[in-house]
Amino acid sequence: MKKSGCIKKAFHLSLLGVLVVLASPVFLGKLNFYGSSHAAPAAATADTPISSLSLNAPVSYADAVALAAPAVVSIQTTQEVPAARNPMLQDPLFRYFFGDQNPDYNNNDNKGKPGNAPPKETLQGLGSGVIVNDKGYILTNNHVVLGADTVTVTLADGRISDAKVIGTDQDTDLAVLKINLDKIPVIQMGSSHQMRVGDVVLAIGNPFGLNKTVTQGIVSATERTGTEIGILENLIQTDAAINPGNSGGALIDSFGRLIAINTAIYTRSGGNQGIGFAIPIDIATDIMNKLIEGKPIVRGYLGIMTQALTKETRDYINYKEGDGVYVRAVVHGSPAQKAGLLPGDVIIKINSTPVKDERAVLQLVASLAPGKSYPVDIYRKGQFISYAIMLGERNKSSQATQPLGNEEQR
């Protein structure tokens, strides 16, 4: 019996020793509870595939925010516009009885000099931006600075600087600003083409003037384009909350790398409804470099409006099978009209590249050089025809300026 008691005592001591070892901080630090890891993630570079990092994704995103947030700035703009006049002042009868409050307004005096200038009012705008290099260049949205008379940037550390607009691109809703300050924070650049639906992303900006606001979500979809959003290039869709003031801010991955510039939301109320859009950084970087170098950003223009082929459309035009897009309308005086394209045609190929949907047409035409002739293969009334079409240049008169969701001209 003594021997048995000794054995039990020894067993209890051994078990106690195991529990002590298991409870030690060193051992706990090596455990992985429910797939989470307390170890610091491996250093990430722009070339590191996202898939190889997913198993080591951080539980907290505080480090990613600390890395990226200092480079996200607040942008304030001002613009002087004619003040709205009381409609009563436009009534001649009112002016007859009460006098004209500004009798020289829009009139010339006897010497031919213009009358008094209309009263002015100052509009103020608010947006966000991202410092992308140590030379002071900032990426933001075109609509943030459009028409602005003054642009002022406030850094995360509180410093304020006037900013110069280096260039803008309406089609991608991008703008490049420049500030002249020393020791400015710069965001780490990522690569948007590696992002997958379901990847965690963080939006950083100044919604409603609330500086340094961070929201978290996932990549909801990719390759959202003109017919859906009103912007030419592919966009990343996210459910990270984006609100007024977030425009031009950073969309980062879980390691703090910039992967897109926030640009728009789909909303019926004016606030966030879980559908936001951002310009991929791979596209934004290319546009930014051209704007900085002063290179013109030119895109081809065909002059058609298209829609997807439906069963009803296929039956109507007797095009039962095959890829392509249906030409709904042809813009008067456009390259497409001059070449002979007609509403009801089905575009099958552009420059020998098959097109499967409207997005493919939009991107193919935009990628081609204006002033050059390209083959466009179509189907019309049972026949397959090839046209040689000299593209025009996509400019302000041909760019889409419709609100979110309207059709894009190609």
For residue 16, tell me if it sits in a domain: no
CB 375 within 8 A of CB 269: no
Distances (CA, A) of 378 to 163, 324, 349, 355: 49, 8, 7, 11
For residue 407, tell me if it sits in a domain: no
For residue 52, tell me if it sits in a domain: no
- Reported confidence tier of residue 282, pLDDT bands at 50, 70, 90: very high
Q: Which residues contact 72 (CB under 8 A, 6 or more apart)?
A: 128, 129, 130, 131, 156, 187, 204, 205, 212, 249, 250
Q: Judging by DSSP bridges, how do beta strands 235-238 and 392-393 pair with one another?
A: unpaired
CB 272 within 8 A of CB 79: no
Q: Does residue 77 share a domain with residue 165?
A: yes
Q: Does residue 167 share a domain with residue 94?
A: yes
Q: Which of 74, 191, 247, 254 is catalytic?
A: 247
Instruction: Please confirm, yes or no, whether 247 is among the known catalytic residues.
Output: yes
* pLDDT surpasses 90 at 158: yes
Locus of tokens 């009103």: 230
pLDDT digits (tens, 9 = 90+) for 100-119: 555 544 554 445 455 556 67
Q: Which of 74, 169, 171, 173 is catalytic?
A: 173
For residue 61, tell me if it sits in a domain: no
Extract the tokens encoding 336: 């497409």
Q: What pLDDT is attached to residue 369?
A: 87
pLDDT digits (tens, 9 = 90+) for 309-352: 999 999 999 998 889 999 999 999 999 999 999 999 999 999 99
CB 377 within 8 A of CB 324: no
Instruction: Please confirm, yes or no, whether 4 is among the known catalytic residues.
Output: no
Extract the tokens encoding 62: 């505080």
Q: What distance in Å separates the CA atoms of residue 179 and residue 153, rounded to the nearest whole number?
A: 8
- 273: nearest Cα among 241, 250, 225: 241
Q: What pLDDT is attached to residue 14?
A: 45
Choosing from 249, 266, 293, the residue where a domain stops is: 293
Locus of tokens 């002590």: 20
CB 291 within 8 A of CB 202: no
Q: What pLDDT is attached to residue 402?
A: 29
Residue 379: CATH number of its domain: 2.30.42.10
Counted domains in the chain: 3
For residue 100, tell me if it sits in a domain: yes
Choosing from 155, 178, 201, the residue where a domain stops is: 178
Choosing from 254, 277, 293, the residue where a domain stops is: 293
Q: What pLDDT is attached to residue 98?
A: 57
Domain of 97? 72-178
Q: Which of 74, 143, 171, 334 is catalytic?
A: 143
At residue 233, φ and ψ (nearest 5 deg) are -85, 170
Question: Which pTM was predicted?
Answer: 0.68
Q: Which residues contact 141 (CB under 8 A, 6 or more apart)?
A: 127, 173, 174, 175, 247, 248, 261, 263
Residue 80: CATH number of its domain: 2.40.10.10
Q: What pLDDT is attached to residue 364?
A: 86
pLDDT digits (tens, 9 = 90+) for 221-241: 888 765 445 556 688 999 999
Q: Does residue 320 share a domain with residue 266?
A: no
Q: Does residue 373 share a domain with residue 318?
A: yes
